Amino acid sequence: METKRIEELQEIARRVRVGIIDAVYSASSGHPGGSLSIADLLTYLYFEKLNVDPKNPKWEDRDRLVLSKGHCAPGLYSVLAQKGFIPVEDLKTFRKTSSYLQGHPDMKHTPGVDMSSGSLGQGTSVSCGMALSAKISGKKNRVYAILGDGETEEGQVWEAAMFAAHYGLSNLCWIVDFNGLQIDGPIAEVMNPAPYEGKFTGFGWNVIDADAHDFNSLEAAFKAAEACTDKPRVIIQHSTKGKGVSYMENNVAWHGSAPNAEQYEVAMQDLGER
């Protein structure tokens, strides 16, 4: 990828991160850690990959994205704001009673949200249904789903993985956000889903690794995914939970809590807003 383009994407990702912190800070609750770890991925998807139209969010032939780890709604809302689906200032209404920006994504009221999600595992099956639908209708649109690493502890994920391989859903691509932390601690200690390579390969998937915070690596991973045309693809993106905010990085305490005023200022400094 050209250096200039990488710099542009980095700037968008920075603004996405600012939006995440603004949303969570305004709500005094929410999930910043996992939102920050997928900020680069969301930026790459919405600004390099997804064939979507902010002026026509319900366009029938658009690519679909299911945020299966729905608690990272601040990340999704923030990138949708950067892409022009919703006003950036609305991020500050996140989780407020009068707001359409629910704690977890609500497709009925949020332009650009392709599926309501939040109950872990369920988005994976929905992505399979969308991919199957495109396949049997001869449509070219692609379907993506973003999963948490902890989410892969849900049995439904593997039911869906089996289904996708059985029906040869090569228009489907999952991205597992492998940041290594879940609410109760490191996933390796709570319930270790690793190794992903062997599991997904065994389920009939093409497995690709990526550095979640390097656009060249993401680009290479998606290119490798697209080169595979006979089976579903999964990108294991190795990420840092809380990426971009110094005190949140690799700290499980920031899975689901909001910064105070002082911490908010530090976050804004870290993100180059001050």
Partner 1 sequence: MADKIATREAYGKALAEFGAEYENLVVLDADLAAATKTGTFKKAFPDRFFDCGIAENNMIGVAVGLSLTGKIPFASSFAMFAAGRSFEQVRNSIGYPHCNVKIGATHAGITVGEDGATHQCCEDIALMRTIPGMTIINPADAVEARLAVKAAIEYNGPVYLRFGRMAVPVFNGDDYKFEIGKGVKLADGCDVSLIATGIEVEQALLARELLANEGISASVVNIHTIKPLDEELVISEAEKCGAIVTCEEHTVIGGLGAAVAECLSEKRPTPVKRVGVNDTFGRSGPAKELISYFGLDAASIAAKAKEAIALK
> Interface with partner 1 by CB under 8 A: which residues?
60, 64, 106-108, 114-116, 118-119, 121-134, 136-137, 143, 155-156, 159-160, 162-163, 166-167
Residue (98 or 137) nearer to partner 1, CB: 137
Q: How far is the CB of 123 from partner 1 (least distance, A)?
A: 8
- Sheet order of strands, 143-148 included: 64-67, 143-148, 172-178, 233-238, 206-211
Q: How far is the CB of 200 from partner 1 (least distance, A)?
A: 16
Which DSSP symbol is given to 152? G
Q: How far is the CB of 113 from partner 1 (least distance, A)?
A: 9
Q: How far is the CB of 187 from partner 1 (least distance, A)?
A: 22
Residue (20 or 72) nearer to partner 1, CB: 72
In 3D, which of 211, 235, 214 has the Cα closest to residue 224? 235
Residue (154 or 219) nearer to partner 1, CB: 154
Residue (55 or 108) nearer to partner 1, CB: 108
Residue (100 or 167) nearer to partner 1, CB: 167
How wide is the angle at C-alpha 1 spanned by C-alphas 274 and 5, nearest 5°? 40
Query: Do the Cβ atoms of 208 and 224 come closer than 8 Å?
Result: yes
CA 191/CA 188 separation, integer angstroms: 6
CB atoms within 10 A of CB 97: 5
Q: How far is the CB of 170 from partner 1 (least distance, A)?
A: 16
